């Protein structure tokens, strides 16, 4: 229950964050359909709850990004399913996550929360937990995590090559 309160705390802050002159905050419930598919370009997702997205034979239940630069800012990505990357699948390009929660997602292969291949992905003040069969998987890429616990303390750095 504490996690839910923490997630809600950051998502509630989104209600006060202006983006290009307006406030953005939404809950997207895919109802068992695939989530976002992104190819090429730059995409920013800010202050969203993305849940119940399914791509059982594909990659990326909530987010499938190929050869794109993707930024996840203050997101809650939960209860999504895919072959690889139940929450996020990232191939080529690059990715960044700030104050996001990727929880309770499932992959039938690997990367229940996040699957990264041939790219880099950075995280700051983000939690990737309770995903099945694992939280994070990486293949053929440079994968870097910059982790700062919530509430903020001294930054800790972990590089995985």
Residue 128 pLDDT greater than 50, yes or no = yes
C-alpha span between 97 and 119 (Å, rounded)? 14
pLDDT at 146: 54
What CA–CA distances, in Å, run from 64 to 10, 58, 109, 159? Answer: 24, 9, 15, 24
pLDDT at 38: 92
Give the pairing of strands 114-117 and 88-91: parallel
Residue 157 pLDDT greater than 80, yes or no = no
Residue 133: band (very low, low, confident or very high) from pLDDT cuts 50, 70, 90: very high
Cα atoms in the Cβ-side hemisphere of radius 13 Å centred on 43: 16
Asked if 35 contacts 59 with a C-beta cutoff of 8 angstroms, the reply is no
Tokens of 74: 């203050």
Q: What is the pLDDT of residues 49-82, one digit of tens each?
A: 999 999 998 999 999 999 999 999 999 999 999 9
**Domain residue ranges of the chain, discontinuous segments joined by +:** 2-160
Tell me the whole-structure pTM to 2 decimals. 0.77
Mean pLDDT of 98-123: 92
Q: Around Cβ 31, how many Cβ atoms within 10 Å?
A: 9
Residue 14: band (very low, low, confident or very high) from pLDDT cuts 50, 70, 90: low
């Amino acid at each position: 229950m504490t996690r839910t309160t923490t997630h809600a705390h950051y998502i509630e802050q989104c209600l006060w964050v202006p983006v290009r002159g307006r406030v953005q905050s939404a809950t997207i419930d895919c109802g068992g359909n695939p989530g976002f598919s992104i190819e090429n370009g730059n995409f920013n997702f800010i202050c969203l709850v993305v849940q119940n997205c399914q791509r059982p034979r594909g990659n990326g239940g909530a987010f499938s990004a190929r050869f794109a630069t993707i930024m996840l800012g203050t997101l809650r990505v939960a209860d999504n399913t895919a072959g690889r990357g139940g929450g996020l699948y990232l191939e080529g390009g690059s990715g960044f996550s700030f104050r996001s929660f990727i929880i309770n997602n499932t992959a039938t292969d690997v990367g229940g929360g996040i699957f990264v291949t041939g790219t880099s992905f950075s995280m700051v003040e983000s939690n990737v937990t309770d995903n099945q069969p694992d939280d994070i998987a990486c293949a053929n890429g440079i994968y870097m995590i910059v982790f700062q616990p919530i509430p903020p303390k001294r930054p800790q750095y972990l590089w995985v090559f």
